[in-house]
Chains A and B, each alone.
Chain A
Amino acid sequence: MSLPPTHFPEKFLTLAEMMNISEQELERRKQFLQFGPEDEERLRKLAPVAENYAEAMIESFYEHVLSFSELKAFFPDAALLARVKARQKDYFLRLTQGNYDLDYAEQRLKIGAIHERIDLPIKYYLSMYNFYLREVWRYIFEIDPEHPDESMATFFSLMKLTFLDISLAIDTYIDARERTIKALQQEAIQELSTPVLPFREGMLLLPIIGQIDSQRARQLTEHLLVAIRAYRAKVIVIDITGVATVDSRVANHLVQTVDAARLMGAKVVISGISPEIALTMVTLGIDLGPVDTVGDLRTGIEHANRLQGYRVVKIAEPDEDEHRENA
């Protein structure tokens, strides 16, 4: 009794796939770092030793970290600190467990993403590796002081792997930044193309020029609603003088905008309905519903003024001297 599958054959994606880190890409990075099977071997051999020094190293690392006030803030209580230490231990032990495949990369990416999300500056994240490598060198050397070349080789293997980790961590930070920048750019572009103009306290003018498709209508509405909140607007004049055609879809968008504005306590006046548009709307049977509509922008503004209890009165002639100065 199962239903036919829906139309979305997308498989679910790992973080690595989302960030375009494929098997080949991972292989490439290892090649750049000159990290190969011999390195893996050396690291695997290091595992039992790593188990021994992990605790001590984590302890001294966190002593170092907690001596910085700005980092203390990330560990408000003892329970959290204990959990983090435990995870850190797992993280370091993983470095010597071999199998540095896409799964490994996926894990590292996840951890990087978590750190980025909690707003840990990357400088701290990276300096952790610095501390680790320097501490670890002692332990590695002590395994076999008679053969420093072996120790060096092992150390270098470890160093190559930590650089691989670092590259993955940096990727997650960069990725997050790029997404943020793109989002901000989008917002800026939208704001430019749909200007909402405050022309009196509590009153906004939204002149629309050109075609209104669904996407534009949605941008307009969103922008307007945010402006209502920002300017505490009670009356909006939406001027459609510059809108070429008003079909039922456009009318629908307008009605929705009016409804949404109303939910935020603002009233809308639609101005700029030309005789042609009026005729089209009647012919198509379009009803904008209980919305105030007027013929031109000037009337729209006057109407808006009246709604708010304003009346514009001329109290003097234009200043002749002002005009002359400009000549």
Chain B
Amino acid sequence: MDVELIVVESDAGVMNARQKGRQLAMTIGISGSDLTLLATAISEIARNIVQYAGQGEIEFRSIVRGGRRGLLIIARDHGPGIPDIAQAMQDGFSTSRGMGLGLPGARRLMDDFEIVSEVGAGTTVSMVKWERS
């Protein structure tokens, strides 16, 4: 599978990203219900990008670890960055007045999750959904 990249700068991009993620995960062999979890996580992260950074990109890669296949999703933006990641990842915290816990929620929906952010530089979220073993 080639690396796939989706530019996200509006709600159309959010939808593109989650549909693309679902499609790619399906070809890797990720199971039905996991596809929904993955699509939901992508949707949340993509929305964060649009809301806080205006635009960004989401990269999809197929990977293997210990014989298990997975879809690696790397969401990058050059937005304002998150000053306190620990706090942002805490359940119940959200800097905007919306409902839902985008970041911690996405983490719980995915198998592996990592976030790097620098104020003034941007944020990169990397997450993986593995096929069921």
Q: Is A117 an interface residue (CB 8 A)?
A: yes
Q: Establish whether residues B33 and A183, one from each chain, have CB atoms under 8 Å apart when the complex forms.
A: no
Q: Establish whether residues A10 and B65, one from each chain, have CB atoms under 8 Å apart when the complex forms.
A: yes
Q: Establish whether residues A186 and B132, one from each chain, have CB atoms under 8 Å apart when the complex forms.
A: yes
Q: Which residue of the partner chain, among B2, B64, B117, B122, contacts A17 with CB atoms under 8 Å?
A: B64
Q: Is B126 an interface residue (CB 8 A)?
A: yes
Q: Establish whether residues B114 and A13, one from each chain, have CB atoms under 8 Å apart when the complex forms.
A: no
Q: Is B7 an interface residue (CB 8 A)?
A: no
Q: Is A67 an interface residue (CB 8 A)?
A: no
Q: Establish whether residues B131 and A12, one from each chain, have CB atoms under 8 Å apart when the complex forms.
A: no
Residues of A within 8 A of B133 (CB): 182, 186
Residues of A within 8 A of B20 (CB): none
Q: Is B74 an interface residue (CB 8 A)?
A: yes
Bound: A310/B116 CA distance, A: 55
Number of B residues with CB within 8 Å of any CB on chain A: 32
Bound: A186/B133 CA distance, A: 8
Q: Establish whether residues B124 and A3, one from each chain, have CB atoms under 8 Å apart when the complex forms.
A: yes
Q: Establish whether residues B114 and A8, one from each chain, have CB atoms under 8 Å apart when the complex forms.
A: yes
Q: Establish whether residues B121 and A6, one from each chain, have CB atoms under 8 Å apart when the complex forms.
A: no
Bound: A4/B85 CA distance, A: 15
Bound: A12/B118 CA distance, A: 26
Residues of A within 8 A of B112 (CB): 8
Residues of B within 8 A of A8 (CB): 63, 72, 74, 112, 114, 126, 128
Residues of B within 8 A of A7 (CB): 114, 126
Residues of A within 8 A of B115 (CB): 6
Bound: A104/B69 CA distance, A: 23
User: Chain A: which residue is nearest B73 at the CB level?
Assistant: A8
Residues of B within 8 A of A11 (CB): 63
Given that A1-B78, A3-B122 are contacting pairs, would A12 and B29 also be in contact in the complex, using a CB cutoff of 8 Å?
no
Give 7 CB contacts A-B under 8 Å: A3-B76, A6-B114, A7-B114, A8-B74, A13-B64, A15-B1, A18-B62
